[in-house]
């Protein structure tokens, strides 16, 4: 029987399609699958590859036409109604692309109904019916809102951080989503940068540990579990080092600083098997991260052996034109794909240019296929090929989102994130049966600000306010007065509208409420003053040159201080603030961040002593914004700071050190450290030293302390930081109880990216400290010998 070439091709395609359907429906034998796994490459740190999935990926890839391959690398924002008529030419364009199987992912489509209908377009109209992956910015909770990531990082509690991410994943998955753009792993040392609220602060080690915990929470042990979602390590790389703390700005650091300070959290994320990476907006030494081949293709994919896919940040491929690095979108698409940026988020560059770039051999089929293979791999891991609608369960959406159980956990996370900065004369905790309490301030009765920026599907005005928390906590005979005093902002959008893209306007004139606030302060035993920042004062695009108190807040403080000295400041903020003046004039300060749905209850738990605060600062708080960027692990200069000399590295008008340093946080009890001991003072490069200390609770309350281990490499092939966090342990002690705290120091602890441009331990002398902050003074020494 004779067949024409075209008919024969169709027969081959049909056979392959049947094979694809067959293997997609095969049940997976866990033991057989595990036995078939092998590392992707010799340099891989990644979890083992499932070869069964790899065969399926290759089978799908073999069936795909060029336009379908390119389509898998296209991500659209879906703020449109897939069930109704098109509202614009742009919507019609997206709809046509979906029907043609030329879209790989959608973001900002949320709810089971919308996601089901959007997925249905692809499954009913496209040729190969490759399912979409749906993404959303689930940054610190989906509908149950947890503390902003910087606040949550202040808990130094990896278990609850993982738990909060797991709940966010569960609620997201119940609502049809399967991918989040979190965690942000950017190390940042500059409080002017508004996006510090989204990360873990200034320290590389802490950011690494917290980042991995959040990835584990989102992804669980198995991406095909319908209660997990794919995570995204962002922003790769250097975004948090933006010059002058100005968002999207360039960053200027050397190669060694990049490897030692910025890249370790991302390396750990790759090793932990994070599903996706997102590149960053900034350039690195003149090369935009989106087009940085050395970072994305050579380091991440080749040297680290990571097998997920890289998504651009919003429009960042097209933004290489504004950088002056690409002449047009076609050129930008060429640079980005060749550099290893796999998926184009909202630049429309890949869909417009990749086909011609392939034909012109400016982009290779090899690179295109590698990008598509990576996207397909994650879709198989999520189980979307088995069931494109597996996340579309209306019953789960109704019963597993914003539950009492989730809110209880949110309250637990929130109270553990609070940091006690000052407690003069033990003003805190307050008694619940005081005669009267004044709750004052622009944020005191605010039910929206505690939700923070990036609040997912958190609904406007649904947080428990501080006032509500106080009223629920105190004795029925305690009189609770409330006055706002001053407004923080002047509304620029209607209540409930998204403030994200609108600048804030601060109240600098209306003082009409101060007099009433003073009157209630006069007749109260104590004042709880809620001041700080609006939810949208921090976050993306919210950089500030002034990190003090906006508007009339300090005027309100001064007025109250004249009539009542018993003031507890409750700070609600998303970045370190300049607290130099409040710290001088008030006896008690609680750093409460933007704590999420259960904010007011969690603050009341701490204020009235139901929970003894245990938080520690993940970023240093300055005496003055002029100290920024400020961080504890600085390097010594040739003229280390001395208060006795002018010609040394410091300031003539302000201290060099932080007002409240990294790792700092008080308790309602007292902790003491003693008897630092090393089991040896000399260690071979491949050896290990055990260092221990006795931690004692010398106060009269049970409390939780975070014991922190710091080291210094005294002489290196590169100048080394004066201290580096290398470990921490969180311990609970009863009054009078002592515990021995032990840390292991080995090559993994001491290695760094040396002048040889590799990770290694250098022989030499080291100092070690253990204590309750980066100012720990209990010190030991040891040497490493070759």
Residue with tokens 């009235």: 608
Please report, to the nearest 10 degrees, the dihedral formed by the alpha carbons of residues 475, 476, 479, 483 taken in order. Answer: 90
Which runs of consecutive H residues, i.e. helices, occur in 142-263?
149-153, 158-174, 204-219, 255-257
Q: Which two tokens stand for residue 650?
A: 């410091």
For 429-510, list the strands marked E by DSSP.
436-440, 479-483, 489-490, 505-506
Q: Is 313 a catalytic residue?
A: yes
Q: Which two tokens stand for residue 475?
A: 């004795």
For 29-172, list the strands marked E by DSSP.
74-77, 105-107, 133-136
Helix (H) or strand (E) holding 353, with range, is helix 349-359
| Residue 713: partners with Cβ closer than 8 Å, 6 or more residues away | 720, 750, 752, 762, 764, 766
Calpha distance 82→106 (Å, rounded)? 12
| Residue 504: partners with Cβ closer than 8 Å, 6 or more residues away | 489, 492, 534, 536, 537
**Helix/strand/coil for 319:** helix
Residue 521 — φ and ψ, nearest 5°?
-65, -35
Burial of residue 506, with CB atoms counted within 10 A of its CB: 0-12 exposed, 13-18 middle, 19 or more buried = middle
| Residue 694: partners with Cβ closer than 8 Å, 6 or more residues away | 673, 674, 675, 738, 739, 740, 741
Q: Which two tokens stand for residue 416?
A: 């553990």
Calpha distance 70→355 (Å, rounded)? 8
Beta bridge partners of 760: 752
**Helix/strand/coil for 123:** helix
Calculate the alpha carbon distances from 181 to 214, 310, 423, 518 in Å.
Answer: 12, 11, 38, 45
Q: Say which of 91, 190, 203, 313 is annotated catalytic.
A: 313
Which residues are designated catalytic? 313
């Amino acid at each position: 029987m004779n067949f024409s070439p075209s008919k024969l091709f169709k027969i081959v395609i049909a056979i392959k399609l049947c094979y694809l359907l067959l293997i997609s429906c095969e049940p997976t034998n866990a033991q057989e699958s595990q036995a078939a796994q092998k590392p992707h490459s010799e340099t891989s740190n990644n979890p083992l590859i499932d070869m069964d999935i790899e065969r399926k990926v290759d089978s799908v890839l073999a069936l795909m036409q060029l336009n379908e391959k390119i389509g898998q690398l296209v991500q659209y924002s879906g703020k449109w109604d897939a069930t109704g008529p098109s509202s614009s030419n742009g919507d019609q364009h997206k709809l046509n692309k979906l029907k043609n199987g030329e879209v790989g992912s959608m973001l900002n489509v949320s709810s089971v109904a919308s996601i089901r209908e959007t997925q249905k377009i692809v499954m009913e109209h496209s040729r190969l019916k490759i399912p979409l992956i749906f993404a959303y910015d689930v940054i610190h909770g989906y509908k149950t809102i947890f503390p902003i990531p910087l606040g949550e990082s202040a808990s130094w509690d990896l278990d609850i951080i993982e738990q909060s991410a797991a709940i966010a994943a569960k609620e997201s998955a119940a609502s049809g989503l399967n991918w989040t753009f979190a965690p942000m792993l950017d190390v940042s040392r500059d409080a002017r940068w508004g996006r510090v609220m989204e990360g873990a602060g200034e320290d590389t080690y802490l950011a690494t540990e917290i980042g991995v915990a959040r990835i584990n929470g989102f992804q669980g042990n198995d991406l095909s579990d319908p209660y997990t979602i794919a995570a995204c390590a962002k922003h790769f790389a250097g975004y948090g080092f933006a010059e002058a703390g100005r968002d999207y700005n360039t960053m200027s650091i050397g190669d060694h600083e990049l490897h030692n300070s910025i890249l370790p959290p991302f390396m750990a994320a790759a090793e932990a098997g994070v599903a996706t990476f997102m590149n960053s907006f900034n350039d690195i030494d003149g090369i935009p991260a989106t087009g940085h081949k050395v970072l994305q293709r050579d380091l991440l994919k080749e040297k680290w052996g990571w097998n997920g896919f890289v998504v651009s940040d919003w429009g960042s491929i097209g933004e290489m034109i504004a950088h002056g690095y690409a002449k047009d979108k076609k050129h930008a698409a060429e640079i980005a794909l060749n550099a290893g940026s796999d998926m184009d988020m909202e630049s429309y560059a890949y869909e417009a240019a990749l086909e011609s770039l392939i034909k012109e051999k400016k982009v290779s089929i090899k690179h295109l296929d590698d990008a598509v293979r990576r996207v397909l791999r994650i879709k198989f891991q999520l189980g979307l090929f088995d069931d494109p609608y597996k996340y579309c369960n209306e019953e789960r959406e109704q019963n597993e989102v914003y539950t009492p159980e989730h809110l209880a956990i949110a309250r637990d996370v929130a109270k553990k994130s609070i940091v006690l900065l000052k407690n003069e004369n033990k003003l805190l905790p307050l008694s619940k049966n005081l005669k009267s309490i004044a709750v004052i301030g622009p944020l005191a009765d605010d039910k929206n600000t505690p939700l923070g920026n990036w609040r997912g599907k958190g609904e406007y005005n649904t947080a428990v306010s501080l006032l509500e928390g106080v009223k629920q906590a105190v004795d029925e005979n305690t009189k609770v007065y409330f006055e706002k005093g001053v407004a923080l902002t002047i509304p620029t959008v209607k209540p409930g509208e998204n403030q994200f893209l609108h600048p804030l306007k601060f109240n600098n004139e209306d003082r009409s409420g101060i007099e009433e606030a003073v009157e209630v302060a006069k007749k109260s035993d104590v004042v709880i003053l809620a001041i700080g920042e609006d939810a949208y004062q921090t976050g993306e695009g919210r950089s500030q040159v002034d990190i003090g108190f906006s508007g009339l807040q300090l005027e309100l403080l001064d007025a109250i201080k004249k009539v009542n000295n018993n003031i507890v400041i409750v700070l609600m903020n998303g970045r370190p603030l300049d607290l130099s003046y409040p710290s001088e004039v008030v006896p008690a300060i609680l750093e409460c961040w933007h704590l999420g749905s259960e904010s007011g209850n969690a603050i009341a738990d701490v204020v009235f002593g139901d929970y003894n605060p245990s938080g520690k600062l993940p970023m240093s708080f300055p005496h003055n914004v002029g100290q920024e960027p400020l961080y504890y692990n600085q390097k010594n200069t040739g003229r280390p700071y001395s208060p006795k000399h002018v010609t040394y590295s410091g300031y003539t008008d302000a201290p060099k050190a932080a007002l409240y340093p990294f790792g700092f946080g008080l308790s309602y009890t007292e902790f003491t450290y003693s008897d630092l001991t090393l089991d040896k003072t000399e260690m071979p490069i491949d050896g290990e030293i055990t260092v221990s200390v006795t931690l004692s609770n010398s106060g009269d309350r049970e409390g939780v302390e975070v014991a922190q281990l710091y080291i210094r490499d005294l002489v290196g092939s590169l100048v080394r930081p004066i201290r580096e966090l290398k470990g921490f342990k969180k311990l609970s002690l009863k009054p009078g109880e002592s515990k021995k705290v032990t840390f292991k120091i080995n090559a993994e602890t001491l290695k760094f990216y040396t002048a040889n441009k590799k990770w290694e331990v250098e022989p030499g002398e080291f100092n070690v400290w253990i204590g309750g902050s980066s100012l720990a003074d209990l010190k030991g020494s040891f040497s490493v010998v070759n």
